[in-house]
Structure 1
Amino acid sequence: MHGFRPAAAALLTAFACQALAAPPVERIKLPPGFRIEVLSDAVPSARAMALSPKGILYIGSLDGHVYALELQGTRVAARHVVATGLEAPIGVAWHNGALYVSAVSRILRLDSIDTRLNAPPQPAVVTDTLPAETHHGAKFIAFGPDGKLYVPQGAPCNVCLKDRDRYALIGRMDPDGSHYEVVARGVRNSVGFAWHPATRELWFTDNGRDLLGDDLPDDELNRASRAGLDFGFPYCHAGVIADPEFGAGHPCNAFTPPVVKLGAHVAALGMRFYSGSMFPPDYRDNIFIAEHGSWNRSKKAGYRVVRVVTDPDGSHARQEVFAEGWLQSGETVWGRPADVLPLPDGSLLISDDYAGAIYRVSYPAH
């Protein structure tokens, strides 16, 4: 699924109706020593996650709701709905006591929400000037080390040439919505990004275009070593494929190439660096990526969580499967990973918008 479209939303609703049974996590295959369990299966179309210092897990969704789970250790003590009736509020970000929520053309803010879970405030509008197109309009958001709110603006199409200062980019703004600027151009549809724990550089996933066949082009993991880089869309895809319509006169070597080619149509969404101490030491500073899974490939791909091992500068990068089993033999799907989030105890959360679930991965298994 490469963006939010009415047809895709209808498909997601159908998925949710099929996925009412308890998620069969025993089907998930992990590396030896790891364990996965269901933290909650009561979060319909769960997408991006954010954790407050108080231990409240906030989850965006495609169904118009924003959810809050009060965590006590490894269990959910209470579940709340803190916002309703929003347009594709998939993105959530915590900052200075408030929860920021994306809603296509708007960024909203819920003040002091940790203490108001039972009577949430009306959202304050941070900005309402973002593009209103729903094709790639649902937005992952996050605060960077610079204190700025980073907001992607996807291409309003499969592939097209629109204003490159408004579409197919990642931007940032002050927490009050002011001082907006473009950070990276040529980014078709990023639904996940994070900052390297050591270098503080921005890394992000990007979904490749459709309709070039089953195996082209790859989704990407990218590194923005500085602001202002151009990653090629719509002229070049995956660093090496000139677009049949827009590529003439724009050689791929003019753009910043991806660090890792993740595979065609895997729908790479949420990504985070792992900086915890629960997992084995060789997982330190690795990247976990939720692959939501293909929606129009003749043979499904993705539907898993991958691990990327790389040097801080993007060299010596390799990827491997970390968790798989949401896609079963015979092309049967029972879950679709959407985001990943390390917890302070070192465990890893995975959201699943098909099953409406949040999973917790721990090590060692016990």
Structure 2
Amino acid sequence: MTFSLRRHMAIAGALALSLTAPALAQQAAAPAATPGWAQGRPADQASSPLAPHAPRLTATPADRIPLDSIRLPEGFKAELWASGMPGARMMARGEDGTVYVGTRTIGRVYAVKDQGGTRSTRVLAQRLDQPNGVAVRDGALYVIAINRVLRFDNIAQNPNAEPVELTEAFALPTEAHHGWKFAAFGPDGKLYMNVGVPCNVCNFDENRHALILRYNPDGSGREVMGHGIRNSVGFDWRPGTNVLYASNNGRDWAGNDAPEDTLHRLSRPGEHHGFPYCSGNAWQDPGHTGRQCSEFPAPVAMLGPHAAALGMRFYTGTMFPEAYRGRAFIARHGSWNRDAKIGFDVVTVTLNEDGSQGRMEPFLTGLLETGDNSFKGRPTDVLVMPDGSLLVSDEQNGAIYRITYQR
């Protein structure tokens, strides 16, 4: 190679580098994708300090859990049932009395074993991607994470069992935003779970997201029980009717008081319940006008704007007074997309005779400090125990409370 040729090649290389450098710089400076929770935020609120609460990665020591702050109706009492479980969320009870507890950001599943008045807690599984959903059937524990479905067979007799992998059989979406599941077996023996919308509000596949689904326990037989349910993290069947009811979280960035979270009755499989076109109390989404609120069944009850209504169970025990029997107990995790916070409590919903309308009332309060707009706990799920007491999980403190009533 001659000196002249080498010189021309060097000049060409330098010129190519000078031409590509601006493109590389522009590529490196490209803005990060908008996080799912911020989608739909108005441009004039881009600098808003409102954002989801950072999760706690440790549990509150037992002697610092705000048990004394809890307020209940007369005759009811709250006690600390279990603690030391960072991120404790959804609960399911096994046949032997063990309570299994799912989490989100912690990635663990806990097992709480009652040993005659004292309880021992251990980590059953860990390093999972948001294993929020737990359900028990025929001696097997099902754990539903973002990207996996696991079955632990004979869990009471073999607490260290290796799980059976059912992920491919269920073929669930794996988007992380609103991808955490609530799961429960229905009266028909089938496994029900939610699939939330992968954003705050957006265009999405309505046959893949914003659903309540049911499956055979092996993952076959997928059926859509409800469309247009943005993000349900709690559902149950009304006693005596076997009709499914589900809590639902409304969209964010539409104002302090709209839309409300809702309670829905899924009386007809496959029915559409409104999202993204309609939310709350007939609130028409201005960005999704293709369908009208009149096309969808009205929610049974309003549960408060941005209150994050999560786990719910109908009360089937006999310990509580007669007036509470058959009510829906709903844990409201608490708002972030609202200037004055709301929720951080447990409410009840009393249904009318045909179950088409409900009335919300406060039940467990005291964890929200309205004076300085702060909170001490975040109720996440409720579970009715065989003796009629009610367990309430608190993700913020990594604890479970037991609510009893004394006549």
* TM class, shorter-length: over 0.9
Pick aligned residue for 2:388 from 341, 346, 366: 346
Q: Deviations over 1:39-68 (max 9, x none)?
A: 111111001000012110110012111000
Q: Which residue of 1 aligns with 2:28?
A: none
Q: Deviations over 1:201-252 (max 9, x none)?
A: 00000000000011000000111112111100001111411111112x3110
CA distance in 2, matches of 1:37, 1:245: 46
Pick aligned residue for 2:313 from 272, 286, 289: 272
> What is the TM-score of this pair, normalised by structure 1?
0.93
Q: Does 1:234 align with 2:276?
A: yes
Q: Does 1:257 align with 2:312?
A: no
Match for 1:288: what amino acid? Answer: F
Residues 17 and 316 from structure 1, CA distance in 2 versus in 1: closer, same or farther, beyond 3 angstroms?
closer
CA distance in 2, matches of 1:262, 1:80: 34
CA distance in 2, matches of 1:98, 1:8: 38
DSSP 3-state at the match of 2:294: helix
Q: Does 1:319 align with 2:360?
A: yes
CA distance in 1, matches of 2:37, 2:405: 34
Q: Which residue of 1 aligns with 2:329?
A: 288
Match for 2:165: what amino acid? Answer: V
More helix by share: 2
Q: Does 1:55 align with 2:97?
A: yes
CA distance in 2, matches of 1:136, 1:353: 17
Q: Deviations over 1:99-145 (max 9, x none)?
A: 0011113221111111223xx22221223421111100010111111
Q: Which residue of 1 aligns with 2:211?
A: 169
CA distance in 2, matches of 1:277, 1:287: 14
Provide the aligned C-alpha RMSD in A. 2.0
Q: Does 1:35 align with 2:77?
A: yes
Which structure has the bigger radius of gyration? Answer: 2
Q: Deviations over 1:43-95 (max 9, x none)?
A: 1100100001211011001211100011135431x212111111100110001
CA distance in 2, matches of 1:105, 1:170: 17
Q: Deviations over 1:288-334 (max 9, x none)?
A: 00000001211111000001111353245211100011112312211
DSSP 3-state at the match of 1:360: strand
Q: Which residue of 2 aligns with 1:83?
A: 125
Q: Which residue of 2 aligns with 1:64?
A: 107
DSSP 3-state at the match of 1:61: coil
Match for 1:274: what amino acid? Answer: Y
Q: Does 1:123 align with 2:163?
A: yes
CA distance in 1, matches of 2:246, 2:374: 29
CA distance in 1, matches of 2:281, 2:375: 31
DSSP 3-state at the match of 1:163: coil
Contact 2:300 2:357 in 1 (8 A): no
> What is the TM-score of this pair, normalised by structure 2?
0.84
Match for 1:252: what amino acid? Answer: C
CA distance in 1, matches of 2:365, 2:341: 13
Contact 1:64 1:88 in 2 (8 A): yes
CA distance in 2, matches of 1:163, 1:312: 36
CA distance in 1, matches of 2:183, 2:359: 26
Match for 1:138: what amino acid? Answer: W
DSSP 3-state at the match of 1:50: strand
Match for 1:39: what amino acid? Answer: W
Q: Does 1:12 align with 2:55?
A: yes
Match for 2:131: what amino acid? Answer: P
Pick aligned residue for 2:66 from 16, 21, 24: 24
Q: Which residue of 2 aligns with 1:197?
A: 239
Q: Does 1:298 align with 2:339?
A: yes
Match for 2:315: what amino acid? Answer: Y
Gaps of 5+ in 1: none
Q: Does 1:335 align with 2:356?
A: no
Mapping for residues 74-153 of structure 1, pairs under 5 Å: 74-76=117-119, 78-117=120-159, 120-128=160-168, 129-153=171-195
More strand by share: 1
Gaps of 5+ in 2: 1-35, 39-49
Residues 208 and 185 from structure 1, CA distance in 2 versus in 1: closer, same or farther, beyond 3 angstroms?
same
Match for 1:68: what amino acid? Answer: A
Match for 2:385: what amino acid? Answer: L
Contact 2:148 2:166 in 1 (8 A): yes
Contact 1:239 1:252 in 2 (8 A): no
CA shift, 1:23, in A, is: 0.9
- Quote the sequence identity (%): 48
